[in-house]
């Protein structure tokens, strides 16, 4: 992409985001009509997190559910964004209140064939795709709602909102197939004035694989990523990290091992912080089953999220996104991946094990990365998709290059 084209693209992106934000203001009013609350609905509210020891925390919960692709079809024309966090987040934000009320009121489930699914994708509506299987309770909770009984036990890979014969409908692709749900919400998806990039679904382009994979006309050039100073350049970073894990920042039970690894001890709890940004946490007392315990998934997620330190010293320009939420023997394991502008960074997963609503173990990989001025070209998305093994998924990613000392982009198959 030449400089002139890049200049126009950036101005187009800025204009789109501003227009979408105006839409968000209008749609937020819907929240006062449908507010179900509930325990799961408290997820991600900053005033209701749970600290590393299960104690109330008012400042450190974080949002970790984001679509990697978002699109809107109006008058037959499809526009949207894929692997572009600014645009996909803005479009998601414009409809998240409506999506939340839809999840809370979905009913009358029916199975949908692949042909019916592609037909629905070809009609006017709003579409979102996620980079992981998102449990319905978790997605609804991230939108301050509780999922309806019809959605219980489901996980979503992608969603479509569109007007049906009797009102607003929700159509969802899950690991077990595609399902459609009615709602009591009136027909009439809110419109917004925007100029998003043209887009197309895989089935419209004849690309094999999942029919709802979204392709856009944006260029395939991505910036190189550089590591910032991280905690080494911020004197307050270590105390903030300790506070996120509910440690006393002024503890004198600390020492430094050969090689620079810092160790902090608080009775049964131990934290190790390596010079490379790997943080490990363990609390052996969690295995003691005495006393009240909350074994629910919502409590587990809140305990993990409350333990995540916030700030550029830890994450640079990137963020953590949910990759997996799994039930294990006696608890839950939550995996969060580091991403920057919709692209995953290799070897950067953070994993949290929660038992009885308390953080048992954590491995947090801090990644203070920033986009550099230098860019690298990748294969166009459509060409890269053609080379996919059958059944594989495609996503932009970054890996560290030891020769150049930076993170370089590539297409990841998984």
Whether residue 52 is predicted with pLDDT greater than 60 in this model: the reply is no
In the chain, the domains with their CATH numbers are: 3-33+64-216 (no CATH), 225-370 (3.30.310.160)
The CA–CA distances, whole Å, from 148 to 101, 108, 165, 193, 221 equal 10, 11, 21, 31, 42
Model pTM?
A: 0.83
Query: For residue 132, which of 154, 157, 103, 96 has the smallest C-alpha distance?
Result: 157
Residues facing residue 200 across a β-bridge: 215
Output the pLDDT for position 292: 61
The answer on pLDDT for 221 being more than 50 is: yes
Question: HEC states along 377-397?
Answer: CCCCHHHHHHCCCCCCCEEEE
> pLDDT tier at 181 (50, 70, 90 boundaries)?
very high
Residue 355's pLDDT is 93
Say if CB 52 and CB 245 are below 8 A apart.
Answer: yes
The pLDDT of residue 408 = 96
Question: How would residue 174 be classed by pLDDT, with cut points 50, 70 and 90?
Answer: very high
Judged on CB neighbours under 10 Å (0-12, 13-18, 19+), 186 is exposed
Q: CA nearest 369: which of 345, 389, 395, 336?
A: 345
Residue 36, Cβ density class (10 Å: 0-12 exposed, 13-18 middle, ≥19 buried): middle
Closest CA to 310 of 256, 234, 362, 381: 234
What pLDDT sits at residue 385? 79
- pLDDT > 70? residue 11: no
Could you read off the pLDDT of 106-141 as tens digits, one per residue?
999 999 999 999 999 999 999 999 999 999 999 999
Q: Which of 52-66, 169-183, 357-371, 397-411 has the lowest mean pLDDT?
A: 52-66
Task: Assign 230 to helix, strand or coil.
Answer: helix
pLDDT confidence bin for 195, thresholds 50/70/90? confident
């Amino acid at each position: 992409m030449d400089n002139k084209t890049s200049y126009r693209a950036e101005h187009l992106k800025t204009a789109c985001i501003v227009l979408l934000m105006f839409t968000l203001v209008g749609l937020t009013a819907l929240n006062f009509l449908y507010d179900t609350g509930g325990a799961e609905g408290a997820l991600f509210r900053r005033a209701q997190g749970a600290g590393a020891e299960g104690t109330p925390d008012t400042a450190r919960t974080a949002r970790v559910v984001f679509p990697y692709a978002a699109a809107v079809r109006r008058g037959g024309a499809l526009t949207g964004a894929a692997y572009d966090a600014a645009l996909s987040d803005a479009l998601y934000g414009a409809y998240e209140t409506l999506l939340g009320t839809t999840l809370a009121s979905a009913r009358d489930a029916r199975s949908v064939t692949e042909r019916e699914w592609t037909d629905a994708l070809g009609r006017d509506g709003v579409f979102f795709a996620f980079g992981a299987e998102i449990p319905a309770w978790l997605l609804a909770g991230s939108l301050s709602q509780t999922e309806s009984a019809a959605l219980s036990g489901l996980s979503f890979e992608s969603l479509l909102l569109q007007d049906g014969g009797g009102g607003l409908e929700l159509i969802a692709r899950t690991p077990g197939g595609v399902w459609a749900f009615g709602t009591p919400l009136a027909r009439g998806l809110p419109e917004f004035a925007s100029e998003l990039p043209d887009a197309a679904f895989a089935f419209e382009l004849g690309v094999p694989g999942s029919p709802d994979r979204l392709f856009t006309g944006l260029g395939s050039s991505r910036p190189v990523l550089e590591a910032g100073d991280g905690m080494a350049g911020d004197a307050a970073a270590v105390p903030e990290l300790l506070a996120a894990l509910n440690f006393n920042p002024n503890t004198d039970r600390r020492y430094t091992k050969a090689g620079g690894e810092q160790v902090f001890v608080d009775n049964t709890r131990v934290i190790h912080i390596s010079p490379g940004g790997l943080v490990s946490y363990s609390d052996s007392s969690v295995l003691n089953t005495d006393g009240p315990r909350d074994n629910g998934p919502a409590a587990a997620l809140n305990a993990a999220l409350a333990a995540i330190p916030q700030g550029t010293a830890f994450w640079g320009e990137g963020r953590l996104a949910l990759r997996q939420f799994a039930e294990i023997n006696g608890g839950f394991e939550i995996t969060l991946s580091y991403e920057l502008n919709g692209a995953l960074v290799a070897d950067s997963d953070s994993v949290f094990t929660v038992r009885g609503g308390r953080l048992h173990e954590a491995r947090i990989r801090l990644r203070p990365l920033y986009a550099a001025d230098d860019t690298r070209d990748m294969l166009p998305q459509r060409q890269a998709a053609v080379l996919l093994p059958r059944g594989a998924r495609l996503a932009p990613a970054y890996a560290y290059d030891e020769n150049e000392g930076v993170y370089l982009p590539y297409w990841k198959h998984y």
